[in-house]
Structure 1
Amino acid sequence: MTPRGRPPETATQRLQRLLTMVPWLLQHPGVPVAQAAAEFGVTTQQVEQDLSLLFVCGTPGGTHAELIDAQWEDGHIYLSNADDIAAPMRLTRDEAVTLTAGLHALVASLVRPDVVERTLAKLRAASAALDGPALDLEIDDGSRHPAMGPVRTALGGHRRLHLTYWVPSRDEATERDVDPMRVLNLDGHWYLEGWCHRAQGVRMFRLDRVEAATVLPVDGTPPEGARPRDPGDEVFVPGDDDIVVVIEASPEAAWIGDYYPTESVQHRADGSALVTLRVADVALVRRLVLQLGGAARVVRPVELAARIAEEARDALRAYRTGATTGDGPGVGDGPGAG
């Protein structure tokens, strides 16, 4: 039963208590249930529920004889057959490297990462006592971005940020006031997620596109109802600065309507499709259409269509010039070949 006034306990919190409780009970055989409850800040009923759960725990894949034996009927707790669970965890070098990399990434996403940094120090010290090279990893923790410092300061002090943010689709810098919510790494890029007052919504800002970041002497608490996005979602979120692009795709290129986040897809009887999508960086569309070698073309905006057509003509002229002089690629290597 949850004590009055306390929020419901999560599964993670209970697991942490159980992992701490097992070695403590082994070191205190016969301890009264009430004393154990006081030690872990729970009720005696909760301790008995924990013991009932431990009673069906043991080594994975083991038999009934390898389960933890917990006795508490006389009001005193006796635990046995739990030495493996209570033993200190020993990591392999691969596990230590993986854990170190994860902790490095976690440091950058926390406002006060003291606990994580102490854990990293312990891992380095433990690795130094082992044979082989020490755990000294080169990991992108976001600190190379000048904006990371102001972002973390704003997060720690609940302050608003003023950003000068480059918008690739227009090749220009925009000014924005943002109430920061968190920083995270997705697909190899560091992002600030926060409430953008210009867009009046939650937006993600790539730190390598932040040209300047200033902490403002203004409260930066996001408005009620602003929620971080699920990290499993696509990074792409349509915004006011994005450009609507319409692509006509032949049957062999119609897959782009299923692969990319789209506004709409109109499938035609011959298998072709008219795909409408929003993009923040038109360079992505240019590369896609050029790589498809004529299997897709941009319909709108007409300026982008003309630019891509000119790039394709330049590439074709360069190919033909190279083929004539014998310095270019061989037959079948040029744009649209194959």
Structure 2
Amino acid sequence: MTRPAARNGSRASADRLARLLNLVPYLLARPGIEIAEAAGDLGVTERQLREDLELLWVCGLPGYGPGDLIDMAFDGDRVTITYDAGIDRPLRLTPDEALALVVALRMLAETPGVANREAVERALAKIEDAGDLVGAPVAVRLPGDTPRVEALRAAVEGGKALGITYYTAARDETTERVIDPLRMLMVGGRAYVEAWCRRAEAVRLFRADRIDAITELDEPATVPPQAVPHDLTEGVFRPSADLPLITVRIGRGERWITEYYPCERVEADGDQWLVSLRVTDLGWARRFVLGLGPEVTVVAPVELAEQVRATAAAALDAYAVPAPTTVPAPTTVPRSPEVDAERVPPGDPAVAGRTQ
């Protein structure tokens, strides 16, 4: 079994939705237009336009009966909208619809990485004014909203350089860095700051929850001309041919790996799967494999297999150290009835505090 490359279906769906929303008013203004001409104006092929028209035939108002759906007439290669299902009428929102839109816009405004936050806030103000929703008792807070994220966002908006203490999971190390922030991002439910790292002399992504300390410096952020933001349309980690390729054999209980990590190849091998994926470095791969269950075996590279074997052997050797055989005899102290009456359960915080 070979795992197919993932397709960006959400982007294609969004593009088609925008095209369909523009298609009806376009056709209403040009009754009897030739399909070839319309396809050229809209920047699509004739085949794609015909598929869009077939989809419009099943779109319309709730009820979705014959009198509710968009209708059109064809005369050879010409098309005319005969019923637009009210799409040409001004938009009127119910209070519930307006409130739902306000909540969505407020969430969008709080999301790090929004390209034009001011435009979102202007649209929000217009909807609130039109629907008498100013000051609506609705508070929106994203799961990633923390004082750390707020400090990072303020630094980005204020154009300040930052000193940070950062934990790098791939190398299992903590470093001190000075960064010049470029933008805030929200990817996969996690907040990131993208910045020019003066230590690495390159653009880097820093996960907000791995920043242990932040110091705003008394100097503006200085981003060199060669600092180019990353393309994150397909996620934060983008495997490339120059990264190490590892292959592991996994059992049924570890198949979640193929859903969580981008894999180059997944092949069935009886009840087990052979999985190949790119990693940032073999140090991360070693910790990754050691953290999995017993149904995982490293197939390649040999270097990784040896590292995993050596680390596992060292752990077993640590357990093999014999414990001290001589235990000091306990001191017996006469116990009074009052003390027995005040005994507390083992591990009680108060007792632990007195005995340390």
Q: TM-score, normalised by structure 2?
A: 0.48
**Count of residue correspondences:** 242
Q: Is the 8 A contact 1:127 1:135 kept in 2?
A: no
- Whether 1:301 and 2:303 are equivalent positions in the alignment is no
Structure 2 counterparts to residues 93-104 of structure 1, below 5 A: 93=96, 96-97=99-100, 100-104=103-107
For the pair 1:249 / 2:223, whether they are aligned, the reply is no
| 1:180-329 matches, cutoff 5 A | 180-236=181-237, 248-249=248-249, 260-261=261-262, 277-278=279-280, 285-286=288-289, 289-290=292-293, 293-297=294-298, 299=305, 301-302=307-308, 305-306=311-312
Unaligned runs of 5+ in 1: 1-14, 20-50, 69-81, 314-338
Q: Quick one: which of 105, 109, 112 aligns to 1:106? A: 109
**1:87 equivalenced with 2:90 (yes/no):** yes
Q: What secondary structure does 2:195 align onto?
A: strand
- The percent identity for this pair of structures is 25
The SS at the match of 1:218 is strand
| C-alpha distance in structure 1 between counterparts of 2:289 and 2:130, whole Å | 50
The residue type equivalent to 2:249 in the other structure is A
In the alignment, which residue of structure 2 is the partner of 1:157? 158
**Relative contact order higher in (CA < 8 Å, ≥ 6 apart):** 2
The 1:276–1:183 alpha-carbon spacing in structure 2 relative to 1, beyond 3 Å, is closer
Whichever residue aligns with residue 196 of structure 1, its letter is C
Structure 1 residue 304: Cα displacement: 7.7
Any conservation in 2 of the 1:159–1:215 contact (CA below 8 Å)? yes
- Match for residue 148 of structure 2 among 114, 123, 146: 146
Counterparts in 2 of 1:248 and 1:189: CA distance versus 1, 3 Å: same
What amino acid does structure 2 have at the position aligned with 1:231? L
1:55 corresponds, among 7, 10, 29, to 29
SS of the aligned residue for 1:90 comes to: coil
Structure-2 residue corresponding to 1:27: none
Give, in whole Å, the separation in 2 of the partners of 1:224 and 1:248: 42
Give the root-mean-square deviation of aligned CA atoms.
5.2
Alpha-carbon deviation of 1:251? 8.9
TM-score, scaled relative to structure 1: 0.51
Describe the SS at the equivalent of 1:249. Answer: strand
- Inter-partner Cα distance in structure 1 for 2:260 and 2:120: 38
Deviations 1:179-221 (A, max 9, x none): 2121111111111112222223222111111112223343424
Counterpart secondary structure, 2:192: strand
Provide Cα deviations, 1:141-163, integer angstroms capped at 9, x if missing partner: 744142432x2333223332222
Aligned partner of residue 296 in structure 1, secondary structure? strand
Is the CA contact 1:161–1:180 (under 8 Å) kept in the aligned structure 2? yes
State the distance in 2 between where 1:93 and 1:284 align: 50
C-alpha distance in structure 2 between counterparts of 1:91 and 1:296, whole Å: 58
The equivalent residue for 2:326 is none
SS at match of 2:155: helix
Kindly tell me: are residues 165 and 232 of structure 1, through their superposed partners in 2, closer, same or farther at Cα, counting changes over 3 Å? same
CA change 1:259–1:126 in 2 (3 A) is same
Distance 1:126 1:56, change over 3 A: same
Instruction: Compare 182-191 and 196-205 and name the one that shifted more.
Output: 196-205
The separation in 2 between residues aligned to 1:105 and 1:135, in whole angstroms, is 17
